[in-house]
């Protein structure tokens, strides 16, 4: 007889339940069950269009800027603003870069690196145990967060859920004094990236985890999702604009098509492939750690470069939008992947909305990876608790943004 073992999926951004169907010592299959409940689209109905960006930034406290910008672009397009002010585009781009740094930093230090250290130390690790065992650990994490939070706070008043993008533009521009404060933190942020790189390669943390490499493989047939194929929708906010179409699914088509049975992949690994990276570089979840770290480095460099953009410091911040009945969608690259916001607006208020988050796109593939892992590990006669632990590790290495998954819990 099969029994259910329920575990809380820990070390992700909102807990979920993982249900393991077990027969004897063999784990037969895995399900993910929600523990929380949100109905964001329900609450958006009737809300004035201009109130949407601030509201949707409460979908996820870890990627609020992506939600703010995607909703702003969709509403601007629906209400006839073809191109937001140049200063607004520059501010949004800078803020999104900072959010990528912060989100990846949290993923690396809270979720992924403890997984690698558990192989090196041969015991489970988390940010608290590592802050004691590795004295530099909290300091380096703090340096990266302080850098990204400084950018966000200078633009939007605070590091957590800052007020940056509005329908029609942005609230604030950068000043010379702000730039100085950000630049002061650059050196330490870059040093923190080098420190993590040193962990991965010189201290061979990645190599040590390779003992379980095959457990973390992706399905062989993967379809990529990036927002690159609808570049016109995200204007200048093209952090990782793809130079070539590589089996890309138009992001907006995801709103209407049945995509749930496909093995889709969005996020850093999909962007890496879309930029021309090797398929062999993404087919294992352990390699995604390196790709995330490379994105952090690229984003820090891009922030440094963007600080010299004159558009950040001058010009109109926000255009007034005209009230009209229309609908439009916008897509951009959030840290965890393609994010799509769609709105139908009637007399200035939201009549209908649909938000597709990266974790929703990744969900079916995450479950495939988890089920493939338990099948393989059971065949290899791994102990049951080991299989359970590694299944949860695979999910958190893939995409831990369960908060974004919860925004409309009926869609799980």
How far apart (Å, rounded) are the C-alpha atoms in residues 166 and 148?
20
| 46 binding other proteins? (CB under 8 A) | yes
| 149 binding other proteins? (CB under 8 A) | yes
| 124 binding other proteins? (CB under 8 A) | yes
Based on CB atoms, which residue is closest to other proteins, 37 or 381? Answer: 37
The region of 5-13, 84-92, 93-101, 227-235 touching other proteins under the rule CB under 8 A is: 5-13
The region of 59-67, 334-342, 359-367, 378-386 touching other proteins under the rule CB under 8 A is: 59-67
DSSP element (H, E) containing 18: strand 16-23
Residue pair 377/387 in contact by the 8 Å Cβ criterion? yes
| 50 binding other proteins? (CB under 8 A) | yes
> Which two tokens mark 304?
């440094």
How far apart (Å, rounded) are the C-alpha atoms in residues 288 and 228?
20
How far apart (Å, rounded) are the C-alpha atoms in residues 230 and 243?
13
- Please, which residues have CB within 8 angstroms of residue 380's CB and are 6 or more apart in sequence? none
> Which two tokens mark 64?
């609020």
Based on CB atoms, which residue is closest to other proteins, 14 or 391? Answer: 14
The one among 52, 69, 108, 141 contacting other proteins by CB under 8 A: 141
Residue pair 320/95 in contact by the 8 Å Cβ criterion? no
Based on CB atoms, which residue is closest to other proteins, 35 or 279? Answer: 35
N-terminal to C-terminal alpha carbon distance within the chain = 27
The region of 154-162, 210-218, 292-300, 303-311 touching other proteins under the rule CB under 8 A is: 154-162
Residue pair 279/246 in contact by the 8 Å Cβ criterion? no
The region of 38-46, 175-183, 228-236, 336-344 touching other proteins under the rule CB under 8 A is: 38-46
Based on CB atoms, which residue is closest to other proteins, 226 or 408? Answer: 408
| 384 binding other proteins? (CB under 8 A) | no
Name the minimum Å distance from CB 1 to other proteins. 24
The one among 26, 32, 172, 236 contacting other proteins by CB under 8 A: 172
DSSP element (H, E) containing 352: strand 349-356
The runs of H, that is alpha helices, within 157-234 are 176-184, 186-201, 205-209
Chain contacts with other proteins (rule: CB under 8 A): 7-8, 10-15, 35-40, 42-43, 46-48, 50-51, 54-55, 58-62, 64, 106, 110, 124, 126-128, 131-132, 138, 141-142, 145-146, 149, 156-161, 163, 171-172, 320, 403, 406
């Amino acid at each position: 007889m099969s029994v259910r073992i329920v575990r809380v999926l820990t070390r992700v951004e909102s807990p979920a339940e993982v249900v393991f169907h077990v027969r004897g010592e063999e784990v037969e299959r895995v399900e993910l069950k929600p523990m929380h409940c949100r109905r964001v689209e329900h609450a958006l109905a009737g809300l004035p269009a201009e109130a949407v960006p601030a509201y949707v930034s409460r979908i996820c406290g870890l990627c609020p800027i992506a939600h703010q910008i995607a909703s702003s672009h969709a509403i601007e397009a629906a209400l006839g603003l073809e191109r937001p002010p140049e200063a607004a585009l520059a501010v949004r781009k800078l803020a999104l870069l900072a959010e990528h740094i912060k989100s990846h930093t949290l993923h690396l230090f809270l979720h992924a690196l403890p997984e690698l250290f558990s192989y090196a130390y041969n015991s489970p690790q988390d940010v608290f145990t590592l802050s004691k065992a590795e004295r530099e650990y909290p300091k380096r994490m703090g340096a990266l967060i302080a850098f990204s939070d400084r950018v966000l706070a200078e633009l939007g008043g605070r590091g957590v859920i800052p007020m940056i993008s509005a329908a029609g533009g942005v609230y604030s521009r950068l000043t010379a004094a702000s730039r100085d404060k950000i630049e002061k933190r650059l050196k330490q942020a870059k040093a923190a990236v080098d420190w993590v790189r040193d962990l991965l390669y010189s201290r061979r943390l990645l190599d040590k985890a390779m003992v379980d490499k095959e457990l973390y493989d992706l399905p062989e047939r993967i379809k990529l999702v990036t927002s690159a194929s609808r570049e016109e929708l995200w204007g200048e906010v093209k952090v990782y604009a793809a130079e070539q179409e590589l089996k890309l699914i138009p992001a907006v088509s995801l709103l209407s098509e049945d995509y749930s049975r496909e093995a889709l992949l969005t996020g850093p690994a999909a962007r890496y492939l879309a930029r021309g990276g090797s398929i062999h570089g993404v087919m294992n979840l352990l390699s995604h750690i390196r790709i995330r770290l490379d994105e952090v480095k690229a984003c820090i460099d891009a922030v440094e470069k963007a600080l010299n953009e004159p558009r950040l410091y001058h010009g109109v911040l926000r255009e007034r939008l005209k009230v009209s009945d229309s609908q439009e969608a916008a897509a951009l690259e959030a840290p965890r992947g393609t994010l799509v916001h769609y709105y139908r607006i009637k007399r200035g208020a939201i009549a209908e909305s649909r938000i597709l988050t990266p974790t929703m796109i990744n969900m079916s593939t995450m479950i495939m990876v988890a089920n493939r892992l338990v099948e393989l590990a059971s065949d290899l006669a791994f102990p049951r608790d080991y299989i359970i632990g590694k299944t949860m590790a695979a999910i958190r290495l893939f995409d831990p943004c369960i908060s974004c998954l919860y925004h409309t819990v009926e869609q799980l």
